[in-house]
Amino acid sequence: MNSGPLSHIKVLDLSRILAAPWAGQIFADLGAEVIKVERPGVGDDTRHWGPPYLKDKDNQNTSEAGYFLAVNRGKRSITVSIEKPEGQQIIKDLAMRADIILENYKVGTLSKFGLDEASLRKINPKLIYCSVTGFGQTGPRREQPAYDFLIQAMGGLMSVTGERDGKPGAGPQKVGVPIVDLMTGMYAAVSVLAALARRNETGKGDYIDIAMLDVQVSSLANQAMNFLVSGKVPKRNGNAHPNIQPQDVFSCKDGDVILVVGNDAQFTKLCEVIGLATYASDPSYSTNAQRINNLPALMDLIRAEFLKWERNKIIDALDQAGVPCGPINSVADVFEDPQVKAREMLRNVEHPCGVLLPQVATPMRFSDAQLPECKAPPMLGQHSNDILQELGYGELKIKALKDKGVI
């Protein structure tokens, strides 16, 4: 029996790639039963987005790419050809038992097969049907495909990410993880949970339209509002914060650190630690607005002092003073960090190919609800027989479906 706050919920995940599958993984982490529908013989595109691939017990590459393994833990996989009438019936049978459907097909695709929101909610009015697309169900781009990189560019994120003009390496940069996909998955999950809460009150399902471009525009946050209230177009500023200073990368004798001064009190403590105590009350620097106005001179002062320190010593000194400061960790460093270890963010689970698979744990923690044990992402079609038997399909019918290429 499943545990977790969503252990009573069934999710039919018709999606692939990252944004909507990320939402499905969140639901699985929370204990929901998530059935992932994949194309027979091919599966989710990300199964093949390698190398790297998971290695089996003989140290040979499997067909399981790291990309897929990052987004699909805790799910069950069934292969279904939705182009075939028998496959469409399987989806309808699954939809009858589902609470939630996630899909990210191009606009209009699923209506060709009778698997769109209007069709499936006729047979299950309580369904919460969530469509995730690049541009949404309306507008001139509604039928166009999209990927994270494209939306980072179109949505303004790359215009404020990267070194500022005139500096080495200047130019627009994408974020190092598919942040729009991830944020879209989060917004999808939040929207579905809101619809679930509303269904508890009304007994009715809902239709949710999530667009990656909308998500990115919304996520411009302070940069968007800076523009809207000032009329000034934000520019790339490297690692410096556009509103709060000093926040940047600083070089020490033996490496770089991040400094994050969030208020005037922290600035005073910073100045005391690095030997610039008189500058804390200097009218040119004592408030954040003044520091922004006189930033180049202030940065020269701070950078000169940081160069006198060893990295670990200045981190320790500022930690004790309550000023946020830390190393720039590699991904390998992250999993060696004592805080990350204490929070058990890395777990090892048994994979069906017979090896232990490392998994980055969910960040969600509950004091009362117990989350389910982490389970490995499924092999392609691993649970097809079991799921069909649960629907009442007999062995002969399942065999016939396999012979026809339906599953």
- For residues 240 and 247, the answer to whether their CB atoms sit within 8 Å is yes
- CA-to-CA distance for 335 and 36, rounded, in angstroms? 29
Q: Quick one: tokens of 144? A: 């166009």
User: In DSSP terms, which residues pair with 8 in a beta bridge?
Assistant: none
CB proximity list for 92: less than 8 A, separation 6 or greater: 114, 115, 120, 123
- For residues 347 and 361, the answer to whether their CB atoms sit within 8 Å is yes
- According to DSSP, residue 175 is labeled -
Half-sphere exposure of 147 (CA within 13 A, CB side): 6
- For residues 130 and 105, the answer to whether their CB atoms sit within 8 Å is no
DSSP 266-296: HHHHHHHHHT-GGGGS-TTTSSHHHHHHTHH
User: Could you check whether the bond before residue 246 is cis, i.e. omega within 30 degrees of 0?
Assistant: yes
Q: Quick one: tokens of 87? A: 């496959």
- CA-to-CA distance for 195 and 9, rounded, in angstroms? 13
- CA-to-CA distance for 172 and 179, rounded, in angstroms? 16
Catalytic residue IDs: 181
- CA-to-CA distance for 132 and 103, rounded, in angstroms? 6
DSSP 307-362: TTS-HHHHHHHHHHHT--EEE---HHHHTT-HHHHHTT-EEEEE-TTSSEEEEEPP
DSSP-based three-state secondary structure for 196: helix
Nearest Cα residue to 244 out of 189, 298, 315, 191: 298
Q: CA torsion sign, 48 to 51 to 53 to 59?
A: positive
Helix 295-306 to helix 264-274 angle (10° resolution) is 40
